[in-house]
Amino acid sequence: MNGRSLMTSTLAVAAAALACVIAFTTATAGHASDEAAPIYGITIPAGYRHWELVSVAHEAADFDDLRAMLGNAVAMKAFRSGTLPFPDGAIIARLAWKYVPSAENNKVFGRDQSFIAGAATNVQFMVKDSKKYAASGGWGYAEFINGKPAAEAVHKTCFPCHEPAKDKDYVFTHYAP
Ligand code: HEC
């Protein structure tokens, strides 16, 4: 092999490796899935795991979880400026994990006080499209468990439970500065 063909093949291998890294990153960033959720036909938005943080919440009782709300650029702009209703194109994600004690952190604090995010439970989305989702306050709803859409019965519960927040365009979470 002469110098030039060695360099050409080295470059080809490097390019192939880079392509694999890009494909892998795209597939794993936010568990992108092609399968649409029932009723509203929403798929997992690409790259949602890189969106900005709106706020966090902790639900006790049956849920016993920790939650983080993330917003895409359209949603974040509306949250920060207090714009209501949210404009079309806004998407809010709600991630949740089991609420578990951290033995590792407790050791450092010298007592039992630390709780952290455990296994992921599910991820939910609200997608604003005032025409398409006019029948449900302008929002489409979707829930995924391990990247797979939850059952249709689950999706029937979303809008009725968000209705009490009608004054805030059906969104409960306030922007945490
Ligand atoms: C029992 C009532 C209830 C049901 C059912 C429900 N939600 Fe919510 N949802 C809430 C409340 C309360 C919050 C805010 C606090 C929290 O997350 O715990 C919330 C928060 C959210 C958020 C973050 C934006 C916001 O409004 O604060 C999204 C996104 C969301 N829910 C989507 C869904 C989807 C999708 C479904 C159906 C699969 C659903 N919700 C079903 C009560 C409900």
Same domain (yes/no): 20, 42: no
Per the CB < 8 A criterion, the answer to whether 97 and 119 are in contact is: yes
CATH of the domain at 37: 3.50.70.20
pLDDT at 21: 46
Angle at 25 between CA 20 and CA 41, to 5 degrees: 120
Cα 101 from Cα 112, distance rounded (Å): 8
Cα 60 from Cα 157, distance rounded (Å): 20
145 Cα: distance to centroid of ligand 1 (angstroms):
15
Which protein residue's CA is at the shortest distance from atom 19 of ligand 1?
172
Per the CB < 8 A criterion, the answer to whether 75 and 84 are in contact is: no
pLDDT at 32: 52
pLDDT at 28: 43
Ordered per-residue pLDDT tens for the chain, 177 residues: 455 555 555 555 555 554 544 444 444 444 556 899 999 999 999 999 999 999 999 999 999 999 999 999 999 999 999 999 999 999 999 999 999 999 999 999 999 999 999 999 999 999 999 999 999 999 999 999 999 999 999 999 999 999 999 999 999 999 999
Tokens representing 11?
A: 């470059």
Residue where the block lists tokens 């949602």 = 48
Same domain (yes/no): 111, 139: yes
117 Cα: distance to centroid of ligand 1 (angstroms):
19
41 Cα: distance to centroid of ligand 1 (angstroms):
18
pLDDT at 72: 98
| Ligand 1 pocket member 64 (CB < 6 A) | no
Same domain (yes/no): 77, 88: yes
pLDDT at 69: 98
User: Would 174 be classed as within a structural domain?
Assistant: no
Same domain (yes/no): 153, 92: yes
Cβ-count burial of 20 within 10 angstroms (0-12 exposed, 13-18 middle, 19+ buried)? exposed
128 Cα: distance to centroid of ligand 1 (angstroms):
14
| Ligand 1 pocket member 117 (CB < 6 A) | no
Same domain (yes/no): 122, 61: yes
| Ligand 1 pocket member 173 (CB < 6 A) | yes
The residue segments making up the domain with residue 18 are 1-30
User: Would 111 be classed as within a structural domain?
Assistant: yes
- Name the domain count of the chain: 2
User: Is residue 85 reached through a cis peptide bond, with omega within 30 degrees of 0 on the bond before it?
Assistant: yes
pLDDT at 34: 84
Angle at 86 between CA 140 and CA 93, to 5 degrees: 50
Cα 127 from Cα 131, distance rounded (Å): 12
